[in-house]
């Protein structure tokens, strides 16, 4: 009994430590080597949440200090010392070494592009319906879109700006793609790249696309109209026989004829 309780406690502690550890593990770590009084790579692109670790392989002390001291590793001792900074907001940083101001580098903290308010209008239709897919591309770094795609049933289609003069990616730019669709439902998602990283929405499905008002339907309607015309003609002939036997048209026959010719169709259609 006690063993079970201890096991349960251990499992709870392991799960709790995992829950704490998981968020910390979300960002990647990038490495910059310091050697020969230079940062290598000199410029680095990381994503929001990532960490940069500088390793000093010179024998003298260096720092990685942001130009306006927004962040600073502090002294990094020589012969293998390290200093790290985690970047939590989108930014384009320039930095240098406090002791050797000719040593310069850059860190672009890139935020993945956002894809907002994606959808399709109308949701359903037939094969003659023009479906308009729209999505808003937004980028915190104000990077233009390298591409914005709507991926439909596994194939990418390039979306265009609704307003081609719109340039403010930080505020958001609306993109669209118009297309006809085959029968059935279709899966779609939006994909964009800000020149550094690709982002995608989750997959959605369109409403059902039904067959358009096609040849078969038209033939069926023509057949119904034809059948009605033949039956009316038959009735009129029987009226004629009635007239000849009674010596004149009845009031009901006159009304029926007036109604027939008051329509928009020319009379000879029914002849």
Residues 66 and 54 sit within 8 Å (Cβ to Cβ)? no
Question: In terms of Cα–Cα distance, which of 50, 57, 46, 55 is closest to 106?
Answer: 46
Q: Is 77 in the site for Cu ion (CB under 5 A)?
A: no
Q: Is 9 in the site for Cu ion (CB under 5 A)?
A: no
The three-class DSSP label of residue 268 is helix
Question: Rule CB under 5 A: is residue 97 a binding residue for Cu ion?
Answer: yes
Least distance between Cu ion and beta carbon 50 (Å):
23
Which range touches Cu ion (CB under 5 A), out of 48-56, 68-76, 97-105, 250-258? 97-105
Distances (CA, A) of 104 to 33, 59, 64, 93, 100: 13, 18, 9, 11, 9
Tokens at 26, concatenated = 């979300």
Stretch that binds Cu ion, among 76-84, 93-101, 153-161, 163-171 (CB under 5 A): 93-101
Q: Which residue lies nearer to Cu ion by CB, 42 or 146?
A: 42
Residues in contact with Cu ion, total (CB under 5 A)? Answer: 4
CB 100 within 8 A of CB 132: no
Exactly one of 32, 44, 54, 62 binds Cu ion (CB under 5 A); which one? 62
Is residue 104 at the binding interface for Cu ion, with CB under 5 A as the rule? no
251-261 vs 215-246: helix crossing angle, rounded to 10: 150
Q: Which C-beta is closer to Cu ion: that of 30 or that of 62?
A: 62
Stretch that binds Cu ion, among 10-18, 99-107, 175-183, 214-222 (CB under 5 A): 99-107
* Residue 100 sits in the site that holds Cu ion (CB under 5 A): yes
Residue 42 touches Cu ion, criterion: CB under 5 A: no
CB of 62 to Cu ion, least distance (A): 3
Min dist. Cβ of residue 99 to Cu ion (A): 4
Residue 62 or 186 having the CB closest to Cu ion = 62
Burial class (CB in 10 A: 0-12, 13-18, 19+), 197: middle
Least distance between Cu ion and beta carbon 30 (Å): 19
100 versus 104: smaller Cβ distance to Cu ion: 100
Is residue 261 part of the contact set for Cu ion (CB under 5 A)? no
Contact 33, 53 (CB under 8 A): no
Chain residues binding Cu ion by CB under 5 A are 62, 97, 99-100
């Amino acid at each position: 009994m006690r063993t079970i309780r201890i096991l349960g406690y251990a499992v709870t502690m392991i799960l709790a430590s995992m829950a704490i550890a998981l968020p910390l593990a979300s960002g990647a770590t990038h490495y910059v080597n310091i050697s020969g009084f230079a940062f290598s790579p000199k410029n680095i692109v990381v994503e929001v949440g990532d960490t940069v670790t500088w390793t000093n392989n010179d024998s003298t002390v260096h720092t990685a200090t942001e130009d306006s001291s927004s962040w600073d590793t502090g002294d990094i001792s020589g012969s293998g010392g390290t200093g790290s900074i985690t970047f939590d907001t989108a930014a384009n940083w320039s930095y240098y070494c406090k002791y050797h101001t000719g040593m310069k580098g850059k860190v672009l903290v890139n935020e993945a592009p956002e894809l907002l308010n994606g959808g399709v209008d109308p949701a359903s239709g037939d094969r003659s319906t023009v479906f308009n897919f729209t999505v808003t591309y937004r980028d915190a770094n104000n990077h233009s879109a390298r591409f914005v795609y709507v991926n439909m049933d596994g194939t990418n289609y390039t979306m265009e700006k609704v307003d081609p003069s719109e340039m403010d990616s930080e505020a958001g730019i609306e993109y669209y793609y118009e297309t006809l669709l085959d029968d059935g439902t279709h899966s779609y998602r939006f994909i964009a790249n800000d020149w550094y990283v690709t982002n995608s929405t989750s997959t959605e499905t369109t409403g059902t696309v039904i067959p358009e008002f096609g040849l078969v339907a038209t033939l069926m309607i023509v057949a119904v109209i034809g059948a009605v015309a033949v039956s009316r003609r038959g009735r009129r002939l029987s009226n004629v026989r009635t007239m000849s036997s009674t010596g004149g048209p009845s009031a009901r026959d006159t009304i029926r004829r007036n109604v027939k010719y008051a329509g928009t169709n020319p009379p000879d259609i029914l002849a």
